[in-house]
Amino acid sequence: MSVYVRPPEVLPGISRRRRYTDWVMCGLLGLATLIALIPLGLILYFLVKRGAGQWSGKFFTTDPNGNFLGYPGGIRSALLGSLEIVGLSTVVALPVGIGVALYLVEYGKASRFAGLVRYFIDVMTGVPSILFGLFIYIVLVLSHIGGTFAAWKGAVALALLMLPIVVRSSEVVLLLVPDSLREAALALGAPRWRVVFRVVLPTAGPGLVTGSLLAIARGMGETAPLLFTIATATGLTASLGQPMNSLPTQIFQDITSPRNAVVDRAWGAALTLVVLVLIFNIVARLAARRSRMT
Amino acid sequence: MEAGAATATPSGGRSFLERSPVGRLPDRVLKWGLTFLASLILVLIVYFFIRLIGQSQDALSRFGLSFVFGNDWDVSRNIYHGAPLLIGTLITSGIALLIGVPVAVATALFISEICPRRLRTPLGVVVDLLAAVPSVVYGLWGVFVLIPKLLPAEKWFASTFSFIPFIGGGTVTGPNYFIAGLILAIMILPIVSAISREVIASVPSEHKEAALALGATRWEMIRMAVLPYARPGITGGAMLGLGRALGETIAVVLVIGNAPVIGQHLFNQGYSLAAVIANEFGEAQGIHVSALFAAGLVLFVLTLIVNVIARGFVARGDRGRRGTGATGVTIAPAVTEP
């Protein structure tokens, strides 16, 4: 006998009111899930519909030119600038972030100071991104360290934003490294630093990659910290010491333009940005799938 | 791995197994280096707070409390009373919570309790993808799709329900509080949903099975076993979402209208703390700059308070459990000494 059939003579059936309530509520929950998925579908639809047509060889190989007529230029400088800035911020945020996570897991543990650091990391996660821009403006731009606006200052602002994400995800992964591995290495006479570099980090490697990629994806899409740090430039520059263009700031500027051609460029650039972010997200998830340590 | 470094030559008064002072050096360097990095974060945040107060000193000393409570933000007359900004921030975030949290919690319940097991992971991933969309793209979509498409519906709504205060009557502008709140609701949905899912997953299956064994339907099981247990965690998740909504800049500045007045009703233009910084900072001079820093300070303090309360809730709901940290927000469990 199937378990789902209830012998009516033993137990009374569920009353009609309760059964309907159950159906209605479960239906509502399903409906809410559908509603939650609608915006994502709509955004992707409009991005592809209005952005894909913009993609062309010219779109990726020319810079915005500011002409009032004709082709407004593509997104070469924005794309390269974004990659350069995010690359630099990754170089800053990853070592520091993983270092702090290592401190928390290997040395700080449950100490009061480590708890304080964790708390501040959480606070940092909640700080609005535009405030990181203000912070870098106060500390690096106002003080004229290496000129006023520069790409590397934007990268530092992004790094601050990425830092708590890297720390949090790395800490979780490092905690998953079995203590027996550490103990085995220590018992063989390896010093602590060697245990960290030869046992803990390689074991946690794929997980660390996942967290880092998610942080990069997050940093890539941020506009607010760049507004007052890299200023606005449209030309192509490889120098990190000068104002630089980036995809999010380019889109932000293009949105307010009265020219349709420029708005179209914003859609094309937005599609490019979303594709980049999604690639990082997907790779991160694939890396996570390969690193089930437990 | 080579253990060669560990076997130092016996010399002096050291025992055979003891490491030479030079051999011990890297250990100390690593330990204090990492501790230095960790303390750097504390120093940075405190330093930022102090510098932000310093920069906003001019505006705060000149306008005093009316910077927060006065209703007059006029760049041309150099008067900066920020109530319109603060109220705009609160209204839009409130709308975001009202719309976003119920949908997010319902989504979390559906994904973790009702939908077929095979659909769980893909549905969760798709909802999480909402968080991957950059805010400037939300802004772009809001300006060119959401605002024009929703305008007729908003006009109909405002005239039909004109008897309700704060909703009906007056003109309906394209960019307004409601659009900003709606976009914020979409943006906070993934984080609230992810935390709710985590909390719901931690409800002991004994509770759920007990409810079902007593004859509860699925909904009754959710209402009587899942929700009471998960409530603190869900509240914390909603507060974290509120923190996000308060500080969101780029999407809001594009769709709120940037009018430095308190909108008369839901479909009026307004301004927000974050939006004013993004919009006016580039051209600001003198006391205006200081006023914008002060707006940043108010925003900082506001998000700080919300986040601290949220962490309290999440930690309370998390007590005695291992945080999975999949969203990077749960409090990681304290490591025990090996």
A180 within a domain of the structure (yes/no): yes
Confidence label for A11 from pLDDT (cuts 50, 70 and 90): low
Can you give B59-122 as a three-state secondary structure string? HHHHHCCHHHHCEEEECCCCEEEEHHHHHHHHHHHHHHHHHHHHHHHHHHHHHHHHCCHHHHHH
**Is residue A150 assigned to a domain?**
yes
**B143: which chain A residues are within 8 Å (Cβ-Cβ)?**
255
Give the pLDDT band of residue B334 (cuts 50, 70, 90): very low
C-beta of residue B67 within 8 angstroms of C-beta of residue B59: yes
- Report the half-sphere exposure of B87 (CA within 13 A, side-chain side): 21
What is the Cα–Cα distance from B130 to B137, expressed in whole angstroms?
A: 11
Establish if A117 belongs to a structural domain.
yes
**Closest alpha carbon within chain B to A231:** B282
For residue range A125-150, what is the model confidence (pLDDT) as tens digits? 888 889 988 888 888 887 777 777 88
Which of A202-206, A270-274, A285-289, B89-93 shows the lowest per-residue confidence on average (mean pLDDT)?
A285-289
Chain A residues with CB under 8 Å of B26 CB are 191, 193
pLDDT band at A42 (very low <50, low <70, confident <90, very high): very high
* Beta carbons of A165 and B329 less than 8 Å apart: no
Q: Is B89 part of a structural domain of the chain? A: yes
> Could you tell me if the ipTM is greater than 0.90?
no
Contact A192 B31 (CB under 8 A): yes
Least confident of A12-16, A42-46, B84-88, B295-299: A12-16
Q: Which domain holds residue B266?
A: 62-318
Chain A residues whose beta carbon lies within 8 Å of the beta carbon of residue B300: 127-128, 131
Residue A103 lies in a domain: yes
Q: Based on the structure, what is the number of domains in chain A?
A: 1
Q: Is residue A149 part of a domain?
A: yes
Total domains, chain B:
1
B80 phi and psi angles, rounded to 5 deg? -125, 85
The whole-angstrom distance between B37's CA and the closest CA on chain A is 6
Mutate to test the interface with B, among A223, A232, A278 (most CBs of B within 10 A): A223
Q: What is the pLDDT of residue B283?
A: 82
> Contact at 8 Å (CB) between B70 and B63?
yes
pLDDT at B186: 94
Q: Which range (A209-218, B7-16, B66-75, B142-151) has the least confidence? A: B7-16
DSSP A74: -
| Residue A168 included in any domain | yes
Residue A171 lies in a domain: yes
Among A121, A183, A191, whose Cβ lies nearest the Cβ of B6? A191
- A196 at B interface, C-beta within 8 A: yes
> Does residue A271 have a pLDDT over 90?
yes
Cβ of B127 within 8 Å of Cβ of A130? The answer is no
Please report the pLDDT score of residue B34 as a whole number: 87
Whether residue A35 is contained in a domain is answered as no
Domain of A255, in residue numbers: 76-290
pLDDT digits (tens, 9 = 90+) for B245-291: 998 989 999 998 888 888 778 888 888 888 888 888 888 888 888 88
Residue B337 or residue B55, greater confidence: B55
B173: left (phi over 0), alpha (psi -120 to 50) or beta: beta
pLDDT at A3: 59
Residues in A touching B281 (Cβ below 8 Å) = 227-228
Residues 112-171 of A with CB under 8 A from B: 113-131, 134-135, 138-139, 160, 163-165, 168-169, 171
B80 in any annotated domain = yes
User: Contacts of residue B137 in chain A, CB cutoff 8 Å?
Assistant: 43, 47, 221, 251, 270, 273-274
| B196 found inside a domain | yes
Residue B333 has what pLDDT?
36
What's the pLDDT tens digit per position in A144-183? 777 778 888 888 999 999 999 999 889 988 988 888 989 9
Rounded to the nearest integer, the mean pLDDT of chain B is 82
The closest alpha carbon to B40, from A97, A122, A139, belongs to: A97
What is the per-residue pLDDT for B82?
Answer: 83
Amino acid residing at A209: V
Q: How many C-beta atoms lie closer than 10 Å to residue A213's C-beta?
A: 22
Average pLDDT over residues B44-51: 89
Smallest CA–CA distance from B6 into chain A, residue: A189
Best residue in B133, B195, B258, B330 to probe A by mutation, most A CBs within 10 Å?
B133
Contact residues, chain A, for B310 at CB < 8 Å? 126
- Whether B45 is in a domain gets the answer no
